[in-house]
């Protein structure tokens, strides 16, 4: 399974103040908040069952990908749209199962901490951080075009002998806020990828009528603030790449 192959809502605290992007014409109002969860610590049997389900889903993904590549070639962007969609479906089933396993343990404080980290990174706070130009943070979901909700975070050690974790992930969703028609999220291509990403972040779920949000996971190997920077960049890229689809300009002739 792809490493962490699973592989956020922006609430502006008064202390942060509103962000003022360089180009308001290509910025959307975003609220970042933490998912309301209860602390959970899964038992061994549940962990094993969810792990087996994740491995089975990933095996099915690999088999689907191999079959399609054998039939249509290695470059998936050149496949017929229906076959591209078939692989996306298999990938998202695998990612969904993997997320269900990796995020069994929920810690409300940890989720809240990562939420605050992402707010700061979007505002350009912290060492080597730059303010994200396509996001204006607002104080509530009702005022926002997009709501980013942090739904989980996790960490691990590459070697058990390490004194601290050296792998960090944060999982978040992007949904419509009070100022945006949720249906506009359906206009974003399901095969959206960012070849220019240098940091590691990936899509886990595309918008559907039943689950009306996009879901992503970000990764970094240094510290929690760094993975928050990866997440904030993805949010900014999401707005930049899909601004026309998400605004009234999309309906223009």
Three-state DSSP at 64 gives helix
Beta strands in the chain (DSSP E): 28-34, 135-137, 146-156, 167-176, 200-205, 214-220
Domain boundaries, the chain: 24-41+105-246
8 Å CB contact between 4 and 102: yes
Q: Supply the pTM of this predicted model.
A: 0.84
Q: Across residues 125-144, what is the average pLDDT?
A: 89
Q: Across residues 182-207, what is the average pLDDT?
A: 82
Alpha-carbon gap, residue 216 to 6, rounded angstroms: 8
Tokens representing residue 25 in the block: 């014409």
11 pLDDT higher than 70: no
**CATH T-level topology, domain 24-41+105-246:** Double Stranded RNA Binding Domain (3.30.160)
Query: How far is the first Cα of the chain from the last one, in angstroms, to the nearest whole number?
Result: 44
Alpha-carbon gap, residue 226 to 121, rounded angstroms: 9
45 pLDDT higher than 50: yes
Lowest mean per-residue pLDDT among 29-38, 105-114, 129-138, 174-183: 129-138
**To which H or E segment does residue 103 belong?**
none
Three-state DSSP at 57 gives helix
Look at the block and give the residue holding tokens 């605004």: 247
Alpha-carbon gap, residue 103 to 107, rounded angstroms: 10
144 pLDDT higher than 70: yes
**To which H or E segment does residue 244 belong?**
helix 224-246
Alpha-carbon gap, residue 125 to 185, rounded angstroms: 29
The neighbour count for residue 174, using CB atoms within 10 Å, is 25
Tokens representing residue 158 in the block: 């590459």
Give the phi and the psi of residue 125 in degrees, each rounded to 5: -90, 145
Of 148, 145, 146, nearest to 218 (Cα)? 148
Alpha-carbon gap, residue 164 to 185, rounded angstroms: 39
Lowest mean per-residue pLDDT among 82-91, 153-162, 193-202: 193-202
Residues in the chain: 253
8 Å CB contact between 135 and 3: no
pLDDT of 194: 62
pLDDT of 8: 32
Q: Across residues 44-61, what is the average pLDDT?
A: 97
pLDDT tens for each residue of 85-118: 999 999 999 999 999 999 999 999 999 999 999 9
Average pLDDT value for the chain: 86
């Amino acid at each position: 399974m792809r490493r962490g192959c699973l592989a956020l809502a922006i609430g502006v605290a008064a202390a942060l103040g509103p962000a003022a992007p360089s180009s308001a014409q290509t910025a959307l109002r975003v609220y970042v908040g933490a998912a309301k969860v209860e602390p959970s610590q899964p038992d061994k049997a549940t962990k094993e069952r969810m792990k087996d389900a994740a491995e089975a889903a990933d095996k099915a993904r690999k088999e689907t990908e191999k079959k399609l590549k054998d039939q249509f070639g290695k470059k998936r962007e050149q496949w017929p749209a229906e076959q591209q969609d078939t692989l996306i479906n298999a990938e998202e089933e695998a990612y969904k199962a993997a997320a269900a396993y990796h995020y069994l343990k929920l810690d409300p404080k940890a989720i809240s901490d990562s939420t605050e980290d992402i707010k700061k990174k979007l505002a350009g706070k912290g060492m080597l951080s730059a303010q994200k130009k396509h996001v204006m943070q607002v104080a509530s979901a009702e005022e926002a075009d997009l709501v980013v909700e942090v739904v989980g975070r996790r960490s691990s050690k590459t070697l058990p002998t390490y004194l601290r974790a050296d792998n960090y992930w944060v999982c978040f969703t992007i949904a419509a806020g009070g100022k945006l028609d949720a249906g506009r999220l359906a206009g974003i291509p399901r095969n959206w990828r960012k070849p220019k990403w240098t940091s590691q972040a990936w899509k886990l779920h595309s918008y559907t009528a039943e689950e009306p949000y996009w879901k992503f996971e970000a990764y970094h190997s240094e510290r929690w603030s760094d993975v928050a920077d990866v997440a904030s960049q993805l949010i900014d890229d999401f707005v930049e790449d899909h601004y026309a689809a998400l605004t009234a300009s999309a309906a223009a002739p």
